Structure 1
């Protein structure tokens, strides 16, 4: 049924959004991506997203969101802000309003392109406490977008209830594990592939991969 539908993937070129792009290509007849330039420290993220989109044969649109950088200083846009998380507080990598704005602008783009489906890689299982990665937020925004634009959007969150090991497993099932491991950029320090190995994003990614490979090994040895 969805093979006759069009989807727009919110796309950063990282592990989660690239997994969602592979998923969307299996689910929908036509897929395009939207990437947001919000002044992130590592410009390689945008180049990575553009390169992956081109290789997978999907259109990529880069939207200027520099105002978000101005309004919400954070460790992803400011070299003088340390990447850290204090007990009981959000990580310094949290960008206020990011997913709210990204999904809203993606919806405007999607309506203009004749797409009713939005795909995003937010996840409540491994979400570092980010409030705009919660399922309740996505469902609320879905209703708001439909009312605001008088258009029946469906926001898909294929990773919402998966931990990182499950996300690697999903990639493997789609035949995309090596591609995602080698070609994506998740590292807060701007290192491609397996990353720097030290920042919280790399540690989460590595632990998930190790857990998935360990689970696979145990299955084989049974």
Structure 2
């Protein structure tokens, strides 16, 4: 696990009177809003990102810029891309669907087991450093239908870590915090605006071209819809 900060990592940069929290952080609109919400909630956050050779690796550049702006620890876990197959976000031969928002089927942008793995890394880090919360920007309203974003998954996973961690067995389970769970994209944008999220620094596109958003994938369309309905400028 590597850190984008110049410090020796979490232990040296998280000395604070505030309790610690881990934030799963992609650098996108939702996870950045989660990060700012964690700060608003009174926590000293450690951002945790993942490099799994995703097509939208541009998001990691955004994540680095935002954590540098906030001067908070940022860990990037590099994962073997061979673990992430069968998704258009990771395989060149599979095309990211365009202009398909609203289809009922789970899209091929779903990455098998991704949130299960990401949360597991977050749980291990959180328990190791004594963090009280683990934030993740899952959403059950304006999203693409991913099963690992649903409330029932988060509920079941929370019970799993309660049973399977020392913190849980001692009666102090880690809290999985999902502040965006029941917000639509408009509400997420409004919340981000209230929290002071630097929208222009975030990246949401699944299939960027030359670092620029494609404007046609589900993520781009949902983002555009949210800003338009909220009446908030992206810049």
Q: Aligning the two structures, in what range does the TM-score lie when normalised by the shorter sequence?
A: 0.7 to 0.9
Q: Do the aligned partners of residues 192 and 24 (structure 1) sit closer, same or farther apart at CA in structure 2, a change above 3 Å counting?
A: farther
Q: Which has the higher contact order (CA 8 A, sep 6+)?
A: 2
Ranges in structure 2 where 5+ consecutive residues have no aligned partner: 1-16, 168-172
Distance 1:10 1:193 in 2: 22
Give the RMSD, CA atoms, in angstroms.
Answer: 2.1
Q: Within the alignment, does 1:77 sit opposite 2:90 as a pair?
A: yes
Deviation at 1:97, TM superposition (A): 0.6
Report the equivalent of 2:67: 53
Distance 1:116 1:128 in 2: 29
Report the equivalent of 1:136: 152
Partner SS, residue 9 of structure 1: strand
- The worse-fitting range, judged by mean Cα deviation, of 112-121 and 70-79 is 70-79
Picking from 177, 181, 186, the partner of 2:204 is 186
Q: Kindly indicate whether the alpha-carbon contact (under 8 Å) linking 1:118 and 1:154 is maintained by their aligned counterparts in 2.
A: yes
Q: Do the aligned partners of residues 87 and 199 (structure 1) sit closer, same or farther apart at CA in structure 2, a change above 3 Å counting?
A: closer
Report the equivalent of 2:7: none
Picking from 75, 89, 101, the partner of 2:105 is 89
- The worse-fitting range, judged by mean Cα deviation, of 99-108 and 75-84 is 75-84
Report the equivalent of 2:115: 99
Q: Do the aligned partners of residues 52 and 169 (structure 1) sit closer, same or farther apart at CA in structure 2, a change above 3 Å counting?
A: same
Deviations 1:142-164 (A, max 9, x none): 11112111211000000000000
Alignment of 1:1-222 (within 5 A): 4-66=18-80, 69-84=82-97, 88-151=104-167, 152-176=173-197, 179-180=198-199, 182-190=200-208, 195-213=213-231
Q: Do the aligned partners of residues 116 and 170 (structure 1) sit closer, same or farther apart at CA in structure 2, a change above 3 Å counting?
A: same
Deviation at 1:16, TM superposition (A): 0.3
Q: Kindly indicate whether the alpha-carbon contact (under 8 Å) linking 1:168 and 1:208 is maintained by their aligned counterparts in 2.
A: yes
Q: Kindly indicate whether the alpha-carbon contact (under 8 Å) linking 2:45 and 2:72 is maintained by their aligned counterparts in 1.
A: yes
Count residues with an aligned counterpart. Answer: 208
Higher share in helix: 1
Normalising by structure 2, we get a TM-score of 0.82
Report the equivalent of 1:219: none
- The worse-fitting range, judged by mean Cα deviation, of 190-199 and 142-151 is 190-199
Ranges in structure 1 where 5+ consecutive residues have no aligned partner: 215-222
Report the equivalent of 2:8: none
Partner SS, residue 231 of structure 2: helix
Deviations 1:92-144 (A, max 9, x none): 10001111110111110111121020000000012211110001111110111
Q: Do the aligned partners of residues 88 and 61 (structure 1) sit closer, same or farther apart at CA in structure 2, a change above 3 Å counting?
A: same
Normalising by structure 1, we get a TM-score of 0.87
Distance 1:140 1:189 in 2: 31
